[in-house]
Structure 1
Amino acid sequence: MNDTATLIEARPPQQARGRERFERILHAAEKQLLARGISDFSIPELASKLGYTRTSVYHFFPTPYAILNELTRRHLLTIEQQVEKLSKSIEGKRWQQVIEEVSNLVADYYNAHPVAGILILGSVASHESHRAMHLTIVHLGKHVENLMELIGVSLPSHEPDAKALTVELGTACLRLSYFLHGKITDAYRQECTNAMIGYLNRFIESKG
């Protein structure tokens, strides 16, 4: 692992006392992001608010990006887990309804967790967090692919990546809503659903 990668990755502690401090830092970081945004995010200010030395924060998070990336990773993982859970309860539902439920789930998550919107929809923290988001899009795309297979439609495996594009199109609608309104509005939530269903319909039609 090179030095640059080390500087943008958190160093999770093994001992209980360290884990408690690790989580307190992340909790305080979310509060600071809500109050100040990414551009004014500061480890010295974070340490001061917590009553920690800067060194004690840097021990776990070598740079601000290490904190932002860890928060991004956690939010993306939670979204993926929620979508996976939803995909296991699709029996008897029309595939369009399931896509709508996925859209609503993700939109609700961003609205309920403003920091997730800041980090993922507003501004990608770094190359590493961008990579994490890309991997999550690929994973969510797998759920889309599995859903389509249940109705007898196989998405093409060659480029362009249809399953990843489906998720990207929906995410683009959510990102624009966040940029314009600071949240996911009902109109853009619906457009997220429409964009994904519209794109997937191409493959339904070609099958028929």
Structure 2
Amino acid sequence: MAKVVAAAAELLVEVGPEQLSIPAIAIAADVPRAAIYPFFPDKYALLSHLARAEMDSLLHTLQQSSSADSDSWRQRVDKLVTVAVDYYNSHPVASILLLRGTLGDGDHDAHKAKNRAISQLLRSHLEPLEALEPLPQAPDAAILAVEIAFACMQHGYQIDQRVSPPIAREATRAACAYLSLWEREHEQS
């Protein structure tokens, strides 16, 4: 199945998700179509598998990035956005699958899980600073901040097929503007 997944990723970059097909993947992977269907009944199941793998890889990359050397919560948000942008720009499969939008119900659930995991990472990067009030859980302010930054990245990708530095700055600015609602120095007593 590794050959099938690798061939699907290559073809996805070449032809896009609309033109991708199980028969084309079978030819590229040099495996019979019938060998693919038990694992991936259609191309959307395969694309969902690829998307989950890219989400896991993105999350791992974000977890490995250290923003502990940043004293400011804004710098920590910027570091996470920068790492995500660098990941997307250097992984075309991730950009196609994660920045173009969901391709099915299973994909939608995976995006929600990714946002939840990244929001937990965001909380873990911000809480030690105690510069912000505890972020509300309902609605989850950390997830909303992640979704705001992600929406900016999606917008940039839709326009340029990559996330440009100005869009990355806007993603950071937008997420920080939202999170600043809980900044301690603006607390009113």
Answer whether contact 1:148 1:155 (CA < 8 A) is retained.
Answer: no
Over the aligned positions, Cα root-mean-square deviation in angstroms equals 1.5
The alpha carbon displacement at 1:142 in A equals: 1.1
> 2:122 corresponds to which residue?
144
> 2:90 corresponds to which residue?
112
TM-score by length of 2: 0.92
> 1:52 corresponds to which residue?
31
| Gap change, CA 1:48 and 1:92, over 3 Å in 2 | closer
> 1:133 corresponds to which residue?
111
Q: Distance in 2 between matches of 1:195 and 1:145?
A: 17
Answer whether contact 2:71 2:129 (CA < 8 A) is retained.
Answer: no
Moved more, 161-170 or 196-205: 196-205
| Gap change, CA 1:103 and 1:172, over 3 Å in 2 | same
Alignment of 1:23-102 (within 5 A): 23-87=2-66, 89-91=67-69, 93-102=71-80
2:180 paired with 1:201: yes
Q: Percent identity?
A: 28
| Gap change, CA 1:123 and 1:156, over 3 Å in 2 | closer
> 1:158 corresponds to which residue?
138
Cα displacement string for residues 123-182 of structure 1 (whole angstroms, at most 9, x for unaligned residues): 3121111111111101111122223321223111222x2000000000000000000111
- Secondary structure at 2:58 match in 1: helix
> 1:168 corresponds to which residue?
147
Long gaps (5+) in structure 2: none
Long gaps (5+) in structure 1: 1-21
The alpha carbon displacement at 1:120 in A equals: 1.0
* One-letter amino acid matched to 2:154: R
Moved more, 22-31 or 57-66: 57-66
Moved more, 193-202 or 147-156: 147-156
TM-score by length of 1: 0.84
| Gap change, CA 1:207 and 1:23, over 3 Å in 2 | farther
Q: Distance in 2 between matches of 1:26 and 1:104?
A: 28
Equivalent pairs counted in the alignment come to 185
Cα displacement string for residues 57-108 of structure 1 (whole angstroms, at most 9, x for unaligned residues): 1132121111101100011011111212225x51453221111111111001
